[in-house]
Amino acid sequence: MTEAGLRIPECISFRPLSPLTLGPTLVILILSSSKGLLADHIHSQTTCERERTFKVEDPFRTIEWKGDHIRLLDQTRLPTEELYIEIRTVDQICDAIRRLAVRGAPAIGVAAAMGVALGMLDADVHDQELFRSRFKAVCDQIAATRPTAVNLFWAVERMRSVLARSGDGDLRELQRRLEEEAVLMEEEDRLLCRRIGEAGADLLSNGDTVLTHCNAGGCATAGYGTALGVIRAAVEQGKKISVVSDETRPLNQGARITAWELMKLRIPVTLIPDNTAGALMQRGEIQKVVVGADRIARNGDAANKIGTYSVAVLARYHEIPFYVAAPLSTIDLSAPSGAGIPIEERDPAEVTHIGGVRIAPEGVPVRNIAFDVTPHHLIAGIITEVGVAAEPYEEAFKAFFEGKREETET
């Protein structure tokens, strides 16, 4: 039995991770077996111990609540301009999500929550019916922005639960609670990303070159990142890690954002065209692959930026471990498999134009599928804030969510 009362089968071994640094810091035990992994948490650490653990500060702030508006980094302007914009209306936050000024499943979730709080700041606090009607309209508008990132819907539902718990109470107090919940979600996301990094850091060895696709760093979250968080945590352990970043066509998030972010963090990064990954694997120049996810099905199938599946197939052929890093909020237990994940298709102009300049013939048919689904059998492990899940993923996820529920109840 662990100190938390979890019975450990004989076939399961465990190893402690070093302490985390934000919020009520916890040591996480990763329990591994052929039937998946479980996690439990014990023992808080002292402030001095926390301060010694992480030293690298985020060199930018992805999204921030400013009381009467949202301040966010406009990622469409990177890398040539580090521009922060002020969001003051629901229409503006919806536009920012659609045009990818804010992007990445966790960051979209935080933006959605803040958008709901923002949309209710000027709501009528003297009429319950009008307030609730306005709240529903705001939630519905934000939920309609992008279909694939499950964190968006998770965040909107979490804000709806704040309203549901309020009953017919004071509406000004409800406004305050909505604001507090949105800010809490941003703080939680930064903490969870550090936990994801700590959970996955030991999967990387000193001297590894790690391939990543799209951007799953601090820009895709409230801070620190998921896939890049794993890399950052390994670097903060003192390991020498180099990164290869796919450019990630058609919007070049790898070239514009991942390369920019890693250079800010002074982590060695090399940019490659998407079609170069296989050649580098063939030459033995890639040791690991770590990517993020926009939605993960119950069986472990993972939807991520288009091109991820191709990288996973190449990694399997070359016997290179392929990992997905994402918070539990990205796991959609209502989707039995990747076949149930809605896949967004975007404007053909994103393919036919670069920087506003046409590169394809006028009138050519275009398929601009924004995401693909990597089957679970190609994934070596899914790194979450409570541990690293392995096959069978459904059993591992069940244990993770049960542990999370017990933690919340206590």
Among the listed residues 278, 275, 320, 326, the one whose alpha carbon sits nearest the alpha carbon of residue 303: 326
pLDDT for position 56: 64
Q: What mean pLDDT comes out for the span 267-284?
A: 98
Q: What is the four-CA torsion angle of 369, 375, 380, 385, rounded to 10 degrees?
A: 70
Among the listed residues 297, 377, 308, the one whose alpha carbon sits nearest the alpha carbon of residue 341: 297
pLDDT for position 24: 29
Instruction: Give CA–CA dist 162/196, Å, rounded.
Output: 27
pLDDT for position 155: 97
Please state, as a whole number, how many other Cβ atoms lie within 10 Å of the Cβ of residue 332.
18
15's enclosing H/E stretch is strand 13-16
pLDDT for position 9: 30
pLDDT for position 404: 82
Of residues 11 and 246, which shows the higher confidence score? 246
pLDDT in tens, 126-137: 999 999 999 999
Q: Is the pLDDT of residue 6 over 80?
A: no
Q: Which domains does the chain have, with CATH numbers?
A: 63-191 (1.20.120.420), 197-409 (3.40.50.10470)
Strand residues in 236-278 grouped as ranges (E): 242-246, 269-272
pLDDT for position 15: 32
Instruction: Give CA–CA dist 403/410, Å, rounded.
Output: 11
User: One-letter amino acid identity for 320?
Assistant: I
Q: Is the pLDDT of residue 75 over 80?
A: yes
pTM, whole model, 2 decimals? 0.84
Q: Is the pLDDT of residue 1 over 60?
A: no
- List, edge to edge, every strand of the sheet that includes 322-325: 269-272, 242-246, 209-212, 288-291, 322-325, 381-384, 387-389
Give yes or no for a contact between 245 and 271, defined as CB atoms under 8 angstroms apart. Answer: yes
pLDDT in tens, 327-376: 999 999 999 999 999 999 999 999 999 989 999 999 999 999 999 999 99
- The residues, any chain, with a CB within 8 Å of residue 167's CB and separated by 6 or more, are none
pLDDT for position 149: 83
pLDDT for position 178: 98
Please state, as a whole number, how many other Cβ atoms lie within 10 Å of the Cβ of residue 97.
21
Instruction: Give CA–CA dist 59/231, Å, rounded.
Output: 16
Please state, as a whole number, how many other Cβ atoms lie within 10 Å of the Cβ of residue 268.
13
- As given in the structure block, the two tokens for residue 156 are 């909107």
Instruction: Catalytic residue, from 40, 58, 208, 294: name it.
Output: 294
Range of weakest confidence among 67-71, 330-334, 384-388, 402-406: 402-406
pLDDT in tens, 85-116: 999 999 999 999 999 999 999 999 999 999 99
Q: Is the pLDDT of residue 225 over 70?
A: yes
pLDDT in tens, 20-38: 333 322 223 333 333 343 3
Instruction: Give CA–CA dist 267/255, Å, rounded.
Output: 15
At 55, the pLDDT band (50, 70, 90 cuts) reads low
At 250, the pLDDT band (50, 70, 90 cuts) reads very high
Instruction: Give CA–CA dist 217/225, Å, rounded.
Output: 4
pLDDT for position 100: 95
The distance between the two most distant Cα atoms of the chain, rounded to a whole number of Å, is 68
Q: What mean pLDDT comes out for the span 242-265?
A: 97
Instruction: Give CA–CA dist 124/132, Å, rounded.
Output: 10
pLDDT in tens, 276-301: 999 999 999 999 999 999 999 999 99
Q: What mean pLDDT comes out for the span 159-182?
A: 95
Q: Assess whether 372 carries a catalytic annotation.
A: no
